[in-house]
Structure 1
Amino acid sequence: MKPLVSIVIPTYRRPHLLRRCLQALMRQDFDHQQVEVLVVDDGADTHTQRLVEEIAQQSDLPLTYLAQPERRGPAAARNRGWRAASGTIIAFTDDDCIPADSWIGSAVQDFSRGAQVVTGQVRVPLSDTPTEAEKIVAFLETAEFVTANCFCLRSVLEQVGGLDERFDIAWREDSDLQFRFLESGIPIIRNPDAVIVHPCRKAPWWASLKDERKNAYDALLYREHPRLFQDRIPKYRRLVFLYYVFVLSFLLGVGLLLAGDPLAASVAFGVWALSLVVLIGRRLRKTQWSLRQIGQTAITSVLTPFLSVYWRLYGAVKYRTLYW
């Protein structure tokens, strides 16, 4: 029997999270005979393969393991999955997500009424005093469209050519897909009853520094969809302006000091120091405070503007677009 819904899950060396996701799918209250699950292992890992094979033996849901030997990112993994799928409806979620028991059934109702693309609701459980990293994850709750929780007719994925594999990390590949749907005149239905839970994972305190490279992919998204980017992507202009002031005042201070003008250099360094205080204050606002937290925030606040400006300029040059 050909399945109605094919669920595609990209994963990368997180078998403990993948197990939790697959167990949630096994509890779906939708007819299991109309569903198949395809796990795409990005950078094939033997532990992940063994886990999928183990669960496949226990589940009445057809479960397929697809190895992607070279790590190419979630966009490429999703493309691999939906192109190998048999269902009319392609559902995407992530290995660190927990679909509610009614997730599939809630979305399928929309397709029975003519929907072509459905995006569900993401819920992010937070503590009373969330960390900065947790607050960033919580933005998923208000995102317009995320590939962690969406359903598409296979035909519309074929129409737009799937996901753009130049987005080779988990950033902006979902917005690019959303924008290509909109530019092709394909409506996107929002269904708040199609719920997945996205728990916050523990991350090292310096993880935000690594995330600054995402700014280069903003440049790619802007080049491909300038109008929709301007209309729908948050700009954070004040913060970006502060980053540029921070970097330029520091570099100016160093240059003036080397040029033998300590008085002017002290003014430039004063602007830099004031910018640093503002940045630290912004990042500590409504978060857990401790001496360790303050110290770590100070270190990341010193480094973040330099990394952010570098990756923004890198993206602008690489993708040949006037993006700052």
Structure 2
Amino acid sequence: MITVVIPTIGRASLKAAIPEGVPVIVVEDTERRGPAAARNAGWRAAQTPWVVFLDDDVVPGEGWVEALVKDLEGLPENVAGSQGRIEVPLPRDRRPTDAERNTAGLADAEWITADMAYRRAALEKVGGFDERFPRAYREDADLALRLREAGFRLVRGERVTRHPVRDDGFWSSVRFQRGNADDALMRRIHGPEWRSLIGAGGLLPRHAATTALGLTAIALATARALALARNRAGRRGHALRGLPGALAFALSAAGWAALTVKFAWERIAPGPRTPGEVARMVVTSVAIPPAACLHRLRGELRVRR
């Protein structure tokens, strides 16, 4: 009745993700084609009516297989998928870090393939995952939207899967901005209202404003420095002509600083506020807005090709 499919890139956590008592297909993504392609290979190799996708860094809860069977038994034919309940263990002796809070958000996310069961027939009808999504980001939401557009329903089950927090390094929040490129594809496929359809928010407009102010300040400062280099310093006429430019630079720099400080504090305030965490939030809060905009621009150019 059920086959479990787990795409992997060779994480040590894979062993804990494999449930007992049910057929499991592990697809190793050796060519780095992405989880969408790996999951497609897995469900097409399965012969059962239901295929359950797990990530290679989750831990199915006690009695997971029995709870899964109960979740799927008796579902009407118009129900294409059943989502497991994701639990993210957080420290009890301190506030969670920014990375831990981001992972904890998976508990409320819709239709994520950390634990998602689909009818094989429904996957066949819509063609499975869209392999144009190259990373573990938005490919699951895209599939869910296409299934609902095809007339299917998706439900939540009662089985529980734990998703531990990984330590992805100091710059992980900056690397995660690559997903903005996939947001461009989501907009192209599902229209400008796609975020409301999956209940997702976004900070890109604010990041764009922050980046624009920062680039403006840099451009004005560079132009002023070049002008001073070409003219003799201290000439009264030049100084008067430069006042509007100096004011524009001051306003742009102040706007960039205000937005950057606001963003950093929003990430620092709910956390443990240790020196290391504060330093990480300050540095990455400067880097995230331009990184997000750059990746979104890259995504927009890609979908237009």
Tell me the TM-score normalised to structure 1 length. 0.81
Answer yes or no: is the 8 Å Cα contact 1:10–1:95 preserved in 2: yes
Secondary structure at 2:23's aligned position in 1? strand
Residue identity in the other structure for 1:12 = I
1:308 aligns with 2:272: no
Residue identity in the other structure for 2:29 = D
Alpha-carbon spacing, 1:106–1:298, altered in 2? closer, same or farther (3 Å): same
1:234 Cα deviation from its structure 2 partner: 2.0
Which of 168, 186, 203 aligns to 1:221? It is 186
1:240 aligns with 2:196: no
Answer yes or no: is the 8 Å Cα contact 1:107–1:118 preserved in 2: no
Answer yes or no: is the 8 Å Cα contact 2:85–2:161 preserved in 1: yes
Higher RCO by CA contacts (8 Å cutoff, separation 6 or greater): 2
Residue identity in the other structure for 2:120 = R
Q: Structure 2: which 5+ runs fail to align?
A: 225-244
- Map Cα deviations across residues 52-89 of structure 1 (whole Å, 9 max, x no partner): xxxxxxxxxxxxxxxxxx12111111111111112221
CA distance in 1, matches of 2:63, 2:147: 26
- Map Cα deviations across residues 123-153 of structure 1 (whole Å, 9 max, x no partner): 1111241110111111110012111111112
- Equivalent position of 1:113 in the other structure: 74
Alpha-carbon spacing, 1:228–1:278, altered in 2? closer, same or farther (3 Å): closer
Q: Figure out how many residues of one structure are paired with residues of the other and give that number.
A: 279
Answer yes or no: is the 8 Å Cα contact 1:41–1:77 preserved in 2: yes
Residue identity in the other structure for 2:28 = D
- Map Cα deviations across residues 30-65 of structure 1 (whole Å, 9 max, x no partner): xx3xx311111111xxxxxxxxxxxxxxxxxxxxxx
- Equivalent position of 1:63 in the other structure: none
1:87 aligns with 2:53: no
After superposition, residues 1-324 of structure 1 pair within 5 angstroms as 4-14=1-11, 16-22=12-18, 25-26=19-20, 32=21, 35-43=22-30, 70-115=31-76, 116-127=80-91, 128-191=94-157, 193-226=158-191, 227-236=193-202, 239-260=203-224, 261-320=245-304
Secondary structure at 1:259's aligned position in 2? helix
Sequence identity of aligned pairs in percent?
A: 36
CA distance in 1, matches of 2:218, 2:208: 15
Alpha-carbon spacing, 1:262–1:186, altered in 2? closer, same or farther (3 Å): same
Answer yes or no: is the 8 Å Cα contact 2:210–2:260 preserved in 1: yes
Alpha-carbon spacing, 1:162–1:289, altered in 2? closer, same or farther (3 Å): same
- Equivalent position of 2:236 in the other structure: none
Alpha-carbon spacing, 1:197–1:186, altered in 2? closer, same or farther (3 Å): same
Answer yes or no: is the 8 Å Cα contact 1:146–1:175 preserved in 2: yes
- Equivalent position of 2:242 in the other structure: none
CA distance in 1, matches of 2:189, 2:292: 21
Answer yes or no: is the 8 Å Cα contact 2:8–2:14 preserved in 1: yes
CA distance in 1, matches of 2:219, 2:9: 45
Alpha-carbon spacing, 1:36–1:233, altered in 2? closer, same or farther (3 Å): same
- Map Cα deviations across residues 190-215 of structure 1 (whole Å, 9 max, x no partner): 11x21110011112111111110100
Secondary structure at 1:319's aligned position in 2? helix
Secondary structure at 1:165's aligned position in 2? coil
CA distance in 1, matches of 2:274, 2:155: 43
Answer yes or no: is the 8 Å Cα contact 1:250–1:268 preserved in 2: yes
Residue identity in the other structure for 1:21 = A
CA distance in 1, matches of 2:213, 2:143: 39
Q: Structure 1: which 5+ runs fail to align?
A: 27-31, 44-69
1:277 Cα deviation from its structure 2 partner: 1.3
- Map Cα deviations across residues 128-184 of structure 1 (whole Å, 9 max, x no partner): 411101111111100121111111121111111111111110000110110111011
- Equivalent position of 2:234 in the other structure: none
CA distance in 2, matches of 1:93, 1:251: 42
